[in-house]
Amino acid sequence: MSHSRDIASITSARDITCSDNGDPDKSIDVTAGRSQAASFLALGDSYTIGQSVLETERWPVVLAKRLRSFGIDLRPLRIVAKTGWTTDELSAGIAHATQRTLWEPSWDLVSLLIGVNNQFRGRSVDDYRAEFVALLETAIQFAGGLPDNVIVISIPDWGVTPAAKRMRADAAVIAAEIDAFNAAAADETATAGAHWIDVTAISRKAASDLSLLARDGLHPSGSMYSEWVDVIFDTAAEITSRSSAVVRADAE
C-alpha cells in the first residue's frame, strides 16, 4: 500500500525531544538526583510522543510514574520521538539529539517503537528490517551494550480506526502489513536478545471500543496507553530495579 502522505499528516504533527517534566526539546540535567537512580530513554514516533493526548497520558510518562509509585528511583525520562517519523528519520533524530549537551551516554532502560510510517508510506518489509536492526543496535548501545535492558514495542494496527475508514483504507490489508512488519521486528528483537512487548492486540480492541482512541480517531487515547503500560510494566520494573535504589520499605 502506497500513500503520498505519511500517517502524521492526518493530524497536526508534534515534533519533540523532551523529558517527563513537560519541557519540550530542553536539555536535561541527567546528573540530578541520587547516583543510584535509574534512567529511561524512549525512542519512537507519534505513539511514543503521544500525539493527540495530554503529556501526562503518554505511555512513557505513565510508565515512569508507575515505576516511581512502585518505589523505583528514576531520573527524568528522555523521549526522542516525532509524529510521522520512519525508521531512517528516527535515526536522524537520534543523531541530532546526541549532539546536544548533557546527553547521557548510557541508559538503564531503553524502549523502541517504530515502523507504522514505514508501512503507511508503502515501504518494503526488507528495508524496514535493515533499518530497524540498525536502530535496535543503537538502542542496545545506549543501554550500555545490554540487550536485556532494551524493550521493543510492537506496531499498533491503525487500520481499525475511524481515520482509516475515512481514508477508505482496507483494514485487512493494513492488518496483514502490520503483522509482517511486526514479525520482522520480533524476529530481530529475539535474535538480539532484547524484550518484545506486543501491544498490537490491544490496539485492535479499538475496533469495538472507541474510548481507546484519542479525539483524532487515529491515535491511542490515554486509556489505551494505560493498557500498554499494564503489559510493559513488569519487564520495565525488573530492568530498572537492577540499577535503582528501591525506596519502598516492603520492596527492600
Task: Please state, in angstroms and rounded to a whole number, the distance separating the CA atoms of residues 211 and 225.
Answer: 11
Give the side-chain half-sphere CA count within 13 A for 204. 13
Question: Which CATH number is associated with domain 7-241?
Answer: 3.40.50.1110
- CB contact set of 61 (below 8 Å; sequence gap of 6+): 20, 50, 55, 77
Contact 199, 154 (CB under 8 A): yes
Query: For residue 26, how far is the Cα from the chain centroid?
Result: 19
- CB contact set of 128 (below 8 Å; sequence gap of 6+): 87, 115, 118, 119, 181, 184, 185
Write out the chain's pLDDT in tens, 252 residues: 444 355 554 433 444 455 454 433 332 333 333 357 999 999 999 999 999 999 999 999 999 999 999 999 999 999 999 999 999 999 999 999 998 767 888 999 999 999 999 999 999 999 999 999 999 999 999 999 999 999 999 999 999 999 999 999 999 999 999 999 999 999 999 999 999 999 999 999 999 999 999 999 999 999 999 999 999 999 999 999 987 654 443 444
- Residue 64's identity, in one-letter code, is A
Beta bridge partners of 150: 110
Q: Is the whole-model pTM more than 0.85?
A: yes
DSSP H helices in the chain = 46-49, 59-70, 87-98, 116-120, 125-142, 162-166, 171-192, 200-204, 222-243
Closest CA to 40 of 93, 71, 78: 78
Closest CA to 128 of 79, 181, 169, 84: 181
Task: Please state, in angstroms and rounded to a whole number, the distance separating the CA atoms of residues 222 and 213.
Answer: 8
Task: Please state, in angstroms and rounded to a whole number, the distance separating the CA atoms of residues 120 and 125.
Answer: 12
Instruction: Provide the pLDDT for residue 102.
Output: 72
Could you state, in order of their start, the residue ranges of all structural domains in the chain?
7-241
Q: Regarding beta strands 78-82 and 15-19, do their DSSP bridges make them parallel or antiparallel, or are they unpaired? A: antiparallel
Q: Could you tell me the three cell numbers for 130?
A: 535493515
Instruction: Provide the pLDDT for residue 28.
Output: 30
Contact 143, 78 (CB under 8 A): no
Strand order in the sheet with 109-113: 15-19, 78-82, 40-44, 109-113, 150-153, 195-197
Q: Could you tell me the three cell numbers for 82?
A: 516525532
Instruction: Provide the pLDDT for residue 100.
Output: 76
